Structure formats: structure tokens, C-alpha cells
Amino acid sequence: MNWLPPNGALHGFAFDHLLRWNLAIVFWLFIAAQALLLVALFRRKSAASPQRPIRPHSPAARVFHFLPLAAITALYVWMVFTSHKLWAARREAANNPQAVQVEVTGVQFDWYFRYPGDDGIYGTLRPDLVNAPAGNPLGLDPNDPHSRDDIVSAILVLPVGRPVDLRLRTQDVIHGLFIPGMRLKEDAIPGMLGHLQFTPTVPGDYAILCSQVCGLGHSRMQARLRVVSEADYERWLAARERAALAARGDTQ
């Protein structure tokens, strides 16, 4: 039974493996708990007859009762540590200079993706300049030289096989960046910058959703991730860069 969407990320195999283990463990624990409940129910019924009064538990029985509890505790501790390792690897900023830098902004009800351009530095954003109909949905400051080459896109394009560092922010309420095909899910919190690191390994198109109910248009807050070859990525980036500079009246 495979009901997970196709995986396109390097860490996805470990993620799916852990998810299946966790589901299998809780499934069998559930079955065992229900079976024990039924056994106890029927045994109590027959044991509690007036001829056979219920005996207090012996010390040996107490130890026997403690053992399954200790086993389950150990199991849950193992589940916490293994999943935390995987979780932390996606979020601890590693400052990898090879990583493709993209800033993701959630806005009711769109996702915007900003590439820092040739200088590799994100330009200043000013909330008072935010104006989506005029082509400046993030409020790029035209007076900041670092903003000049920034590229703002409605689609996330990434090269295959290269590590990616997503910087996550929101312009209004809490949004949840959810890319099922990349096994990524992280909230964008007002006033905070989040980080997500991963490596796409399979070219193709992937859905980007919002996993937090962020308002009336929440269900249509969707975007696309397109994973392409390194050459196609460079071509796309150069074309967008030229378009961005032309739009800002700068042809350098």
C-alpha cells in the first residue's frame, strides 16, 4: 500500500521510512490495546463471581505490569529522537554557500518567491511600498542597490541535485508552506524568519499548498515548484533577471 505522493527530495526516503515505521508501531499498539481490553473484560467477568473473589496483585504481577509500560515508554522515546534528528536537519541553518537561496513569502492568498539576484543579497523590503497591482507585491525598495536585481516570481523554479535554502516569511497572518512531493512542511510566522533546507533530486512539477487555515481564500493559496536541469535553471534565472532590470528601467 503506497498512498504517499511520489518523493522528489533527497531526505524523502528516510522520511517515508520513518513515517511507515511510526504508523506500523502505533497500528499494532492499537490492536494490542484493544485485544487486552477485550481479554480483561471477559476474564474480569468470570473472575468476579461470588465464589471467586478478586485477589490482590502479587509483587511478581506488579513487575509484570510495569514491563509493558517501560517498553512503550522506550519506544516513544526512540520515536521522538529519530524524528527529531530528521526534523532538525531540515531546519538548522547550515550556511551552505553552495545552496540556492530563495525567500518564500506567504500573503493572503498567494505565495511569492524571491531570488537575491547576481549580488546574492536580498534587497530591503518596505511595508509601505507593498503594492501587488503595481507589480511590487513584496514592497522592494527601489533606492536600495541590492533590490535592483532581486527577482520576484509566482512560481518556484529550482535546479535538480543542488541543496536549497528557503527563507520563510509572511506578510500578514500565519501561513504553512507545504510541499508534499518534497516532504516539507513549515509554518511562516509573522515577525520571524524560518529556514528550510533540502535537495530536490527528481525533475518535475510539484504542488505547493498552504497548510494553515489563513482566511477565506485559503483553499486557493496554491503555487508550483518546478525542478529543472541546472542549464534550464540558469536560463530561466537570466531571463527573469533581464525582465526585472528592464521593468525597473535599468539595463545594466
Terminal CA-CA length for the chain? 55
104 binds Cu ion (CB under 5 A): no
214 binds Cu ion (CB under 5 A): yes
Interface with Cu ion (CB under 5 A), residue from 210, 223, 227, 228: 210
Nearest approach, Cβ of 175 to Cu ion (angstroms)?
Answer: 4
Q: Footprint of Cu ion on residues 175-194 (CB under 5 A)?
A: 175
Choose between 90 and 175: whose C-beta lies nearer to Cu ion.
175
Nearest approach, Cβ of 241 to Cu ion (angstroms)?
Answer: 28
Q: How many residues bind Cu ion (CB under 5 A)?
A: 4
**Cα dihedral sign, 90-91-96-99:** positive
Pairwise CA distance, residues 218 & 192, whole Å: 21
The CA distances from residue 205 to 42, 66, 150, in Å, are 55, 51, 24
Amino acid letter, 136: N
The CA distances from residue 86 to 80, 102, 103, 173, in Å, are 10, 22, 22, 27
Choose between 140 and 210: whose C-beta lies nearer to Cu ion.
210
Interface with Cu ion (CB under 5 A), residue from 221, 225, 227, 228: 221
228 binds Cu ion (CB under 5 A): no
Q: Which residues bind Cu ion (CB under 5 A)?
A: 175, 210, 214, 221
